């Protein structure tokens, strides 16, 4: 007998129900968006992939940014030249950790890499900034 009461409540308070649905969607959306991208990984997770699974770090910054500072041992492949780069590993099963200054270009790069068959490409969440904040090694090419 509670069915008609619930239906009546929902009809009379449709604005509250709509607000609850929209609020819930807004809370869930970031998690769904991360899941669609494969999610960004933390600097600690990147180190684990590098040490245990021989992940290759790909820096998609411009050459002058890369020279100013980059993850130690990373390969410089600017985003604009990523598609035809010979510096990508031939083994497409290897994990790739893609980094840029903040993570925005790296997200686009991961999309390109996955289309090219690199299914294990991951974005370093927060980019080089997060790497530095975690006190992990950075090197520069400038004198």
Average pLDDT, the chain: 88
Active site residues: 100
Residue 132, Cβ neighbours under 10 Å: how many?
15
Query: In this structure, are 126 and 86 located in the same domain?
Result: yes
Whether residue 79 is predicted with pLDDT greater than 60 in this model: the reply is yes
Within this chain, do residues 25 and 43 fall inside the same structural domain, yes or no? Answer: no
32, 42: one domain: no
- Co-location of 52 and 7 in the same domain: no
CB 106 within 8 A of CB 33: no
Question: Do 112 and 102 fall within a single domain?
Answer: yes
For 69, residues 6+ apart whose C-beta sits below 8 A from its C-beta are 128, 132, 138, 139, 140
Q: Name the least confident of 1-10, 11-20, 103-112, 133-142.
A: 1-10
Task: Kindly report which listed range (12-16, 29-33, 102-106, 133-137) carries the lowest average pLDDT score.
Answer: 29-33
pLDDT confidence bin for 6, thresholds 50/70/90: confident
Q: How many domains does the chain have?
A: 2
Within this chain, do residues 18 and 80 fall inside the same structural domain, yes or no?
no
Q: Domain of residue 64: give its range.
A: 38-139
Give the 3-state DSSP-derived string for the chain, with helices as H, strands as E and coil as C: CHHHHHHHHHHHCHHHHHHHHHHHHHHHHHHHHHHHHCCEECHHHHHHHHHHHCCEEEECCCHHHHHHCEECCCEECCHHHCCCCCCCCCCCCCCEEEECCCCHHHHHHHHHHHHCCCCCEEEECCHHHHHHHCCCCEECCCC
């Amino acid at each position: 007998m509670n069915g008609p009461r619930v239906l009546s409540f929902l009809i009379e308070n449709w604005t509250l129900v709509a607000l609850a649905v929209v609020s819930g969607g807004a809370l869930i959306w970031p998690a769904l968006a991360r899941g669609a991208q494969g999610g960004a990984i933390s600097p600690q997770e990147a180190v684990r992939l590098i040490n245990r699974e021989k992940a290759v770090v790909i820096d998609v910054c411009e050459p002058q940014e890369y020279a100013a500072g980059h993850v130690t041992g990373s390969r410089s492949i600017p985003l604009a030249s990523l598609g035809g780069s010979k510096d990508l590993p031939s083994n497409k099963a290897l994990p790739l950790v893609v980094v840029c200054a903040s993570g925005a270009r790296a997200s686009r790069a991961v999309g390109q890499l996955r289309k090219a068959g690199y299914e294990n490409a991951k974005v370093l969440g927060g980019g080089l900034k997060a790497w530095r904040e975690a006190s992990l090694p950075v090197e520069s090419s400038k004198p």
